[in-house]
Amino acid sequence: MDDRVQMKQLAYPPDTVIPPQRYSGDATFAEEVAKIFRRAWMFVGFANDLQNDNDFITAEIAGTSVLVQNFGGELRAFHNVCTHRYAQIHLRPCGNGKPVCPYHGWIFNRDGVPVGIPGNREHFGFDEAARKRLALPRFEVGVRGRFVFVRLEPGGRGLDEQLGAYGPVLDHLSEMFTDRIDEDVLPWDANWKTALESALEVYHVDATHPETFKKFAKKIWICSYEGEHSRGTTHLSDTSARWWDGVIERLGLPRSEMLRNYDHFMIFPNLAIGVTHGALMSVQTYDPVGPDRSNLHFRLFLGETSKPKTKGGPTRKAVEANVCGFNRTVLDEDRRVAESAHRGLKQVQVPAALGSCEERIAAFHQAWFARMAAE
């Protein structure tokens, strides 16, 4: 069969592909915020940052600042904006401290009510009912394993239902990968969809990552799906597999029995998790900042070593430096092509020509269309 005919048959119809004009624009972004990011359970951080009373984490969900706080062992989520004069309450990504606005010192309790207002009697005269009306808007919070999620608008499916079969995967990853070795927030001049798509196929590897990821994995890509979510699995190159076998042995690292290759999960809309040889986990969110910008927030984890003498030693440090450097290099290579694609899509009207090698992108587009069509 002629290759061109075969490719035409395997390509996805243009009407199933997000058109370029729907990647950008204020109207599209506002619709995504309303129909996707406010209604879906969004990953915001890890429960090990919320273990103690008054521990907190903060996150941005498509322009809404969120705080999750431990109140005597119970996690509660609120809008991270003071109801007095709109200052953000917690300014750090995580820490320990009561919800106290740094602007005027208003103190909020476990119900989000301002119970401490400096000069209330002299200047405001708020009674209990008035203070309750000034309570912080509260959001839903859910935890699966160590993964913490927030939903801005109530209603709809519960967290476990949204995750489906990937819920037990998060439980397993939470048990395996306990040591955070790197974390950063990287600004990308690209729409969140363009950024995320760089993680959903390996067709780009030869051209984009000739000295990095190309040498890391074989040309095998097996895809599967769970509702709105997807998984892609590829095999490590023989050289990479041998290197990781040696690292696991020398450091006494745990290795997952479930995930033995390079396993990549996408949990809709913007959470991507990669597991390397069952021994390394990368957690990435492609957080929308605006129609033309996003932030890539990544965290990198290893498991706890069974050889205490190696923890903090030169071999462990060398391994961490190696994998952290590799990860940052690959992400920067992805950033460059994603930003280039975003600049290009603003100059065209025809949808992308997706082939069968990009089936996870096509599945992501289907999930996007379904969410955007909901009332």
| Helical (H) or strand (E) element with 251 | helix 238-251
Q: What is the pLDDT of residues 218-242, one digit of tens each?
A: 888 999 999 999 999 999 999 999 9
Nearest to 262 by CA among 293, 284, 231: 231
Q: What is the pLDDT of residues 38-48, one digit of tens each?
A: 999 999 999 99
Q: HSE (CB half, 13 Å, CA atoms) of 360?
A: 27
pLDDT at 305: 87
The answer to whether 304 touches 177, Cβ cutoff 8 Å, is: no
pLDDT at 293: 98
pLDDT at 4: 36
pLDDT at 220: 86
What are 202's two structure tokens? Answer: 């390996």
pLDDT at 2: 37
**Which pTM was predicted?**
0.95
Count of other CB atoms within 10 angstroms of residue 317: 12
168-172 — which CB contacts under 8 Å span 24+ positions?
169/258, 169/265, 170/144, 170/145, 171/144, 171/145, 172/145, 172/256, 172/258, 172/259
Query: What domains, with CATH codes, occur in the chain?
Result: 42-155 (2.102.10.10), 165-373 (3.90.380.10)
Residues in the chain with pLDDT values less than 70: 1-10
